[in-house]
């Protein structure tokens, strides 16, 4: 050691660590010359070879209590009972000048025995880089075991010397190197080189209870990291299962406290944004080795509900639920909802991890939830539909029958996204329920009422406005009121009522807008040309001979945006496309609309893809896209373009079924009539059409208020005419899905009204104000204080037990989203596992509930942890 290093080490002791007295023992008398030239400001150097210990003692304790002294002893450190200055030494600092002592000092360690330990780790501390990295993991009171763990952390580049971070770093190495479970990662050779493997095994044994005996491992039978993962994951599996199958008895960690700690460890691993993907890979490897799929083949959903260890369990739960939905009773379907909610809060479908695996399972569960909705509705109307009038059925569709169509759409939208074989069987059951039960029963009841009431001769319902009166019913009262304000009408082609329900809810999620939904009786035939014309301001609608695809509004063509803009000009308005509005900046939009009172915005997403044989299979995806676009479009118009009211409506709805139609779904016409202007799957329109027994016959004078006597044919029920082209997406007829046209009224809210719509997350409380934990793994009851509503929204909580700011349990996730007032349905249980055994029953711990999305504390409850016995064995 050179003079500079000596100087630096002593300065650290006096100036950095602020010791007043430093003892320096130099048994080999290697530094007597250096002692003479040391330059330590304000430090008195005493060579104890020339001093009386008693005199120095009196000087330091009585004569000079503030001065700083370096006491140099050219001899070995005496035994405690022969040391006259021991009492002073106990509150002072000892300095050593050999290589390992310098490193000891450099690391700021206090335990003198660690100098010897450092000497045993000479190979590790050879490299300056390793030594520098070691410093950030060292505390003054670090002991030998923790020092070795810090060295392991340096080798593995782990975040900290905590066992959790070290094991996660080892798991990462295994995955990166694509190793099998019986092969240790390359870093093990380095750990062996530095003699650090025993420290790793000691930590594993102390904290997790594996291995049972370190002596079990030797050169012939070395420790295998993969075997540890097998024991760890088997333990987690059995703890979640609530029992130990015979095949797992030799693999489960015996101690109860260790099992709980293992569960906590895996919970934190799965929760790690950096390392959770390594868990996915290694758990799959363990699953394969243990053949979990076969071993759980006889398990039911209830047994597997809490297991998050293996992905194959998620798949089995999905298969089991999907295979029972179609034949389940009402209470079983409701229980399936609870199971799905639990799994959505779990690991494999977590909404807080956005990767392909989680998206896949979330989407599958969305499909299953929609299937449950559909079959629940079928049970509700098990005997079919028997409404006494067409108006009763119309109102029933507005109130709840639309949910059949919504559930069917949600199911197929999700199922198409997943592209998994798991749902293939359920697909068939869904088709049987919707296309061959719901549609048949609906068409029968609706068709009977239409015929009995001769409704096509008087296309009116007493409490429902007609589509051709849209302008007079909705726009004119605003357009010509004393407080006249700009009005925007968005017409979305083929946007049907059930989608408008979802759009209303989406808009109402926004604080500064409010949407209400009503409907109007659509014109017949329910197709674009007639529907678009009927929505424009007008006195007359008219078809002209030999003009196949145009309806004249007050004598003017209504075909296309330019023609409609000419019609609206008389009302100080214009027609534009949604694409134009989407492209405007705030300034461009305000400039374009500054002198306009009435703006019609034409939006075409659903019909553009549905009414095309090559893309009709994408119809439900198009509906979802339309809802997204209309949400943003309405928000942009309200917030950016000085508009207080928007109406969102459609020209018509549509029918769609995912499966190909059978012959029974077609109405066969021998020939198209010679006077037809237009012939499509769901309608034929023309002049002087003859009567047809294969279809319903009518006149647009009665069904749309045209002044021309234009006739039409419509296939009965939900059937299609057998014309060439696509047939799964159709419109033009009179089924409720086609002619119940939505009208959304969207208003811009300001001031107090906006404040009243401020949403808040639902409150969750513990059923007890103070809690006691007597087992390493225990359940706690939590309750949602009120039901979910438009302004009270669900909350996802992360729940754990804390000692001050330190988490001492597993952290679990629960979502509270109950919309009923039944207390039992608003209750949930959380199962927490404690980490370790070092708990003081006289100390206050806390169960803390945090908003998972915002990481904000939402509640805390005092917990007493009193573990009477924690070392039970199987």
- 303 pLDDT band, cuts 50/70/90, is very high
The mean of the pLDDT values for the chain is 92
Residue with tokens 């647009």: 700
Beta bridge partners of 760: 792
One domain for residues 438 and 520: no
320-329, 366-375, 610-619: the lowest-pLDDT one: 610-619
The secondary structure of residue 48, as a DSSP letter, is G
For 690-748, write each residue's pLDDT tens digit.
888 889 999 999 999 999 999 999 999 888 887 666 578 999 999 999 999 999 999 98
One domain for residues 429 and 528: no
For 45-94, write each residue's pLDDT tens digit.
999 999 999 999 999 999 999 999 999 999 888 998 889 899 999 999 88
Q: Answer whether residue 710 is part of any domain.
A: no
For the domain that residue 809 is a member of, what is the CATH number?
2.60.40.2030
What does the pLDDT read at residue 873? 43
Determine contact, residues 122/95, Cβ cutoff 8 Å.
Answer: no
One domain for residues 491 and 607: yes
- Which long-range contacts does 28-32 make (Cβ < 8 Å, 24+ apart)? 29/74, 30/97, 31/6, 31/97, 32/74
Q: Region 615-634: what's the mean pLDDT?
A: 96
For 663-679, write each residue's pLDDT tens digit.
555 666 656 777 888 98
Residue 770 predicted with pLDDT over 90: no
What does the pLDDT read at residue 757? 78
Which of residues 433, 452, 471 is at a domain's end? 452
Quote the crossing angle between the two packed helices 163-176 and 256-271, to the nearest 10°.
60
Q: Region 30-42: what's the mean pLDDT?
A: 86
Q: Answer whether residue 487 is part of any domain.
A: yes
For the domain that residue 556 is a member of, what is the CATH number?
3.40.720
Question: What element of type H or E holds 10?
Answer: helix 3-11
One domain for residues 525 and 652: yes
Which of residues 268, 297, 326 is at a domain's end? 297
Residue with tokens 């999905």: 318
Q: Answer whether residue 14 is part of any domain.
A: yes
- 874 pLDDT band, cuts 50/70/90, is very low
Q: Answer whether residue 506 is part of any domain.
A: yes
Q: Answer whether residue 833 is part of any domain.
A: yes
What does the pLDDT read at residue 5? 77
One domain for residues 570 and 624: yes
One domain for residues 603 and 551: yes
One domain for residues 154 and 224: yes
Q: Answer whether residue 594 is part of any domain.
A: yes
Residue 101 predicted with pLDDT over 80: no
One domain for residues 175 and 33: no
Q: Answer whether residue 681 is part of any domain.
A: no
Which of residues 452, 479, 498 is at a domain's end? 452
What does the pLDDT read at residue 544? 92
Q: Region 579-588: what's the mean pLDDT?
A: 96
| Cα separations in angstroms, 274 against 168, 172, 271, 444, 808 | 9, 10, 9, 57, 21
Three-state SS string over 521-538 comes to: ECCCCCCHHHHHHHHCCC
Q: Is the dihedral of CA 801, 806, 809, 810 positive or negative?
A: positive
One domain for residues 378 and 518: no
Structural domain harbouring 524:
461-657+733-754
What does the pLDDT read at residue 665? 57
Residue 371 to residue 413: CA distance in whole angstroms: 12
For 515-536, write each residue's pLDDT tens digit.
999 999 999 999 999 999 999 9
**Higher per-residue confidence, 199 vs 546:** 199
One domain for residues 593 and 537: yes
What does the pLDDT read at residue 421? 86
Q: Answer whether residue 303 is part of any domain.
A: no
Determine contact, residues 401/384, Cβ cutoff 8 Å.
Answer: no
For 164-198, write each residue's pLDDT tens digit.
999 999 999 999 999 999 999 999 999 999 999 99
Residue 103 predicted with pLDDT over 70: yes
**Higher per-residue confidence, 435 vs 116:** 435
Number of domains in the chain: 5
Q: Which two tokens stand for residue 669?
A: 């016409």
- 486 pLDDT band, cuts 50/70/90, is confident
Residue 165 to residue 137: CA distance in whole angstroms: 12
Residue with tokens 């630096």: 8
For 426-484, write each residue's pLDDT tens digit.
999 999 999 999 999 999 999 999 999 999 999 999 999 999 999 999 999 887 665 66
What does the pLDDT read at residue 481? 65
Three-state SS string over 748-804 comes to: ECCHHHHHHCCCEECCEEECCCEEEECCCEEEEEEEECCCCCCCEECEEEEEEEEEC
One domain for residues 481 and 572: yes
Q: Region 607-616: what's the mean pLDDT?
A: 90
Residue 337: which of 324, 352, 350, 351 has the closest Cα?
324
What does the pLDDT read at residue 483? 64
What does the pLDDT read at residue 367? 97
Residue 2 predicted with pLDDT over 90: no
Give the E-state strand segments of 689-739 in sequence order.
695-699, 710-715, 720-721, 729-730
For 638-656, write each residue's pLDDT tens digit.
999 989 899 999 999 999 9
One domain for residues 233 and 278: yes
Q: Which two tokens stand for residue 830?
A: 């959380």
């Amino acid at each position: 050691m050179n003079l500079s290093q000596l100087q630096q080490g002593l300065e650290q002791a006096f100036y950095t660590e602020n010791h007043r007295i430093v003892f320096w023992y130099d048994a080999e008398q290697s530094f007597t010359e250096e002692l003479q030239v040391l330059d330590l400001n304000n430090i008195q150097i005493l060579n104890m070879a020339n001093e009386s210990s008693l005199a120095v003692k009196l000087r330091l304790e009585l004569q000079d209590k503030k001065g700083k002294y370096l006491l140099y002893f050219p001899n070995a450190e005496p035994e405690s009972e022969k040391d006259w200055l021991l009492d002073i030494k106990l509150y002072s600092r000892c300095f050593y000048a050999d290589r390992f002592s310098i490193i000891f000092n450099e690391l700021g360690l206090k335990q003198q025995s660690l100098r010897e330990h450092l000497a045993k780790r000479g190979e590790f501390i050879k490299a300056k880089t390793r030594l520098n990295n070691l410093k950030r993991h060292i505390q003054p009171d670090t002991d030998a075991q923790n020092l070795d763990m810090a060295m392991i952390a340096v080798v593995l580049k782990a975040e900290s010397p905590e066992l959790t971070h070290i094991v996660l770093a080892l798991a990462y190495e295994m995955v990166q190197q694509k190793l099998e479970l019986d092969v240790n990662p390359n870093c093990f050779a380095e750990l062996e080189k530095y003699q650090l493997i025993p420290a790793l095994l000691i930590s594993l044994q102390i904290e997790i209870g594996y291995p049972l005996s370190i002596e079990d491992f030797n050169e012939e039978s070395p420790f295998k990291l993969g075997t540890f993962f097998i024991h760890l994951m088997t333990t987690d599996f059995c703890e979640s299962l609530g029992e130990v199958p015979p095949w797992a008895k030799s693999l489960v960690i015996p101690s109860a406290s260790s099992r709980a700690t293992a569960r906590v460890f895996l919970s934190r691993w799965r929760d790690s944004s950096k390392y959770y993907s390594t868990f996915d890979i290694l758990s799959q490897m363990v699953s394969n080795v243990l053949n979990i799929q076969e071993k759980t083949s006889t398990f039911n959903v209830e047994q597997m509900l809490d297991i998050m260890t293996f992905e194959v369990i998620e798949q089995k739960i999905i298969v089991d639920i999907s295979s029972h939905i179609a034949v389940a009773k009402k209470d079983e379907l409701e229980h399936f909802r609870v199971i799905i909610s639990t799994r959505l809060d779990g690991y494999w479908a977590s909404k807080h991890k956005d990767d392909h695996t989680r998206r896949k399972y979330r989407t599958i569960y969305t499909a299953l939830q929609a299937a449950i909705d559909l079959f629940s509705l079928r049970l509700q109307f098990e005997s079919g539909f028997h409404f006494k009038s067409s108006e009763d059925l119309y109102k029933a569709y507005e109130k709840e029958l639309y949910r059949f169509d919504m559930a069917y759409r949600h199911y197929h939208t999700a199922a198409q996204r997943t592209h998994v074989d798991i749902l293939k069987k359920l697909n068939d059951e869904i088709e049987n329920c919707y296309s061959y039960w719901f549609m048949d029963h609906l068409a029968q009841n609706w068709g009977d009422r239409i015929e009995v009431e001769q409704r096509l001769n008087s296309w009116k319902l007493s409490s429902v406005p007609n589509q051709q009166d849209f302008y007079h019913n909705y726009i004119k009262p605003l357009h010509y009121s004393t407080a006249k304000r700009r009005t925007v009408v968005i017409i979305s082609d083929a946007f049907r009522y059930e989608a408008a329900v979802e759009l209303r809810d989406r808009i109402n999620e926004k604080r500064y807008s409010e949407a209400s939904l009503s409907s109007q009786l659509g014109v017949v035939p329910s197709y674009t040309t007639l529907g678009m014309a009927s929505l424009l301001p007008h006195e007359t609608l008219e078809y002209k001979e030999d003009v196949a695809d145009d309806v004249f509004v007050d004598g003017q063509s209504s075909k296309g945006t330019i023609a409609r803009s000419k019609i609206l000009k008389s009302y100080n308005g214009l027609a534009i496309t949604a694409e134009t509005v989407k492209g405007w900046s705030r300034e461009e939009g305000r400039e374009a609309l500054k002198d306009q009172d009435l703006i019609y915005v034409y939006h075409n997403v659903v019909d553009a893809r549905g009414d095309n044989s090559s893309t009709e299979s994408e119809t439900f995806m198009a509906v979802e896209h339309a809802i997204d676009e209309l949400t943003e479009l309405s928000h942009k118009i309200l917030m950016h373009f000085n508009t207080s009211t928007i109406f969102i409506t459609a020209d018509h709805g549509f029918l769609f079924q995912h499966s190909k139609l059978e012959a029974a779904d077609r109405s066969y016409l021998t020939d198209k009539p010679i006077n037809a202007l237009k012939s499509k799957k769901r309608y034929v329109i023309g002049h002087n059409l003859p009567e047809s027994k294969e279809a319903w016959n009518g006149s647009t004078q009665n069904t749309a208020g045209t002044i021309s006597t234009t006739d039409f044919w419509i296939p009965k029920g939900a059937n299609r005419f057998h014309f060439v082209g696509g047939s799964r997406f159709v419109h033009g007829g009179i089924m409720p899905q086609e002619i119940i046209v939505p009208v959304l009224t969207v208003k811009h809210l300001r001031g107090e009204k906006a404040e009243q719509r401020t949403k808040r997350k639902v409150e969750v409380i513990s059923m007890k104000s103070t809690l006691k934990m007597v087992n390493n793994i225990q359940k706690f009851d939590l309750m949602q204080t009120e039901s979910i509503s438009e302004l009270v929204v669900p909350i996802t909580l992360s729940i754990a037990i804390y000692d001050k700011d330190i988490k001492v349990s597993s952290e679990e996730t629960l979502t509270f989203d109950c919309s009923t007032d039944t207390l039992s349905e608003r209750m949930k249980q959380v199962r927490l596992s404690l980490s370790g055994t070092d708990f003081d029953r006289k100390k206050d711990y806390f169960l803390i509930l945090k908003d998972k999305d915002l990481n904000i504390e939402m509640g805390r409850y005092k917990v007493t942890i009193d573990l009477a016995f924690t070392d039970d064995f199987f």
